[in-house]
Amino acid sequence: MQFDSTRPIWLQVMGDIESSIVTGVRVPGEKLPGGRELAVIYGINPNTAARVYQELEKSGLCETRRGMGTFVTEDAECIAALRAELARQAVREFINKAGSLGLSKEEAAKMILEEE
Amino acid sequence: MLESKELTKVFGSVTAVDHVSLNLEPGHVYAMLGPNGSGKTTWMKMAAGLIKPTSGKVLYNGQPVGIESRRHIAYMSTEPYFYPWMSIKDVGRYYQDFFQDFSMDRFHDLLNKMELKEEMKTKTLSSGMMAKLKIAVTMARDAKVYMLDEPFNGIDLLARDEIRACILQFAAEDKILLLSSHLVEEMEAIADSAVFIKEGRLIECVDLETMRQENGVSMADRYRQIYGHVEVGTNA
């Protein structure tokens, strides 16, 4: 994974794991790699990897079971809420971009419907 | 903890390291940055207990570095240090004789990952293979402190990924890793702290994620700010 090194790396890795969960690449209840393994997979500092899991846990998307590791939550509502949030973000980004090209929301919406 | 207190080294009319005070804590990977000739290597050699400071001192867990600390501090210098007649297997044995914490199993594992074979002679190795061997033999020690001087030098892009993975594999809560490089981008994601050295003096030691979060600045950006027009990422 290529990082934007002007943004916190933990945020970028967290985003990558989030999208793997909402797109179903990782399924509810699936065990995630250990902290060190995560560091090696992404080529990131182990402290950064630990931070990723702390934040994922805080958001409720993952849970750590003592002595067993970190797992994707089985709470479908939590995953659906994140998916909705990520979708809203993507839409907002699109509207901003379209706006900067001088399109109104309505024009942008029309273009989406016309697009194959 | 590795502490450098007002550490200074003067060679004739040149002050290579100038009153550097710096604490390195276990559980961190430090990137030591600065252009060639800024004093990184001299600082590391003093911290490894290989050369004596002109003034100031280096303490490892409160004790001055020396013969005792060398058992816990693994240092990889930039100079080649194997006899040309040695095979890679000989290099492993040579290290095993020197260091109690050297693990032959770990060495074999690292050789495998680096795609090196024991029967290869060191004199026939390419510069990239030699660089990988130096890292394998250093990381095969179960030390508390690893100081690698220019680990990415002379190593191609793909092999750099292997080396990063090996280094990360051994980073742990009770270990200090210090990597010097002028290849700043290579260290961006694996280091959590950066130590900037300029003309022998310590400019700052910063937490990288905090710097990204608060200032939106990468390690390479900060490097450019500090060193001005010095080229970033050129390979020596």
A69: pLDDT strictly greater than 80:
yes
ipTM above 0.85, yes or no: no
Per DSSP, the three-state class of B108 is helix
Show which residues on chain B lie within 8 Å of chain A, measured between beta carbons: 27-29, 161, 164-165, 168-169, 171-172, 185, 188-192, 209, 212-213, 216-221
What is the reported pLDDT for B36? 87
Amino acid at A52: V
List, for residues A14-63, the tens digit of each pLDDT value.
999 999 999 999 999 999 999 989 999 999 999 999 999 999 999 999 99
Cβ-based neighbours of B195, under 8 Å, separated by 6 or more: B22, B30, B31, B32, B33, B178, B202, B204, B205
Q: What is the pLDDT of residue B158?
A: 81
Determine contact, residues B65/B49, Cβ cutoff 8 Å.
yes
State which residue of chain B sits closest to A45, comparing Cα positions: B190
Mutate to test the interface with A, among B157, B168, B186 (most CBs of A within 10 A): B168
* pLDDT at res. B67: 87
Instruction: Please name the member of A8, A40, A45 whose beta carbon is closest to the beta carbon of B165.
Output: A40
Determine whether the interchain pair B188/A48 forms a contact, defined as Cβ–Cβ distance below 8 Å.
no
CB A10 within 8 A of CB A52: yes
The residue in chain A having the minimum alpha-carbon distance to the alpha carbon of residue B30 is: A45
What pLDDT is recorded for position B79? 85
The pLDDT tens digits along chain B (236 residues) read 999 999 999 998 999 999 999 999 999 999 999 988 899 999 999 999 999 999 999 999 999 998 889 899 999 999 877 888 999 999 999 999 999 999 999 999 999 988 999 999 999 998 889 999 999 999 999 999 999 999 998 888 888 888 888 888 888 889 999 999 888 988 999 999 999 999 999 999 999 999 999 999 999 999 999 998 655 554 44
- How confident is the prediction for chain A on average, in pLDDT? 92
For residue B55, the one-letter residue type is S
pLDDT of residue B28: 96
Of B207, B180, B213, the closest CA to residue B44 belongs to B180
Instruction: Please indicate whether, in this complex, the C-beta atoms of B168 and A39 are within 8 angstroms of each other.
Output: yes
**0.90 exceeded by the pTM?**
no
| Element counts in chain A: helices (H) and strands (E) | 5, 2
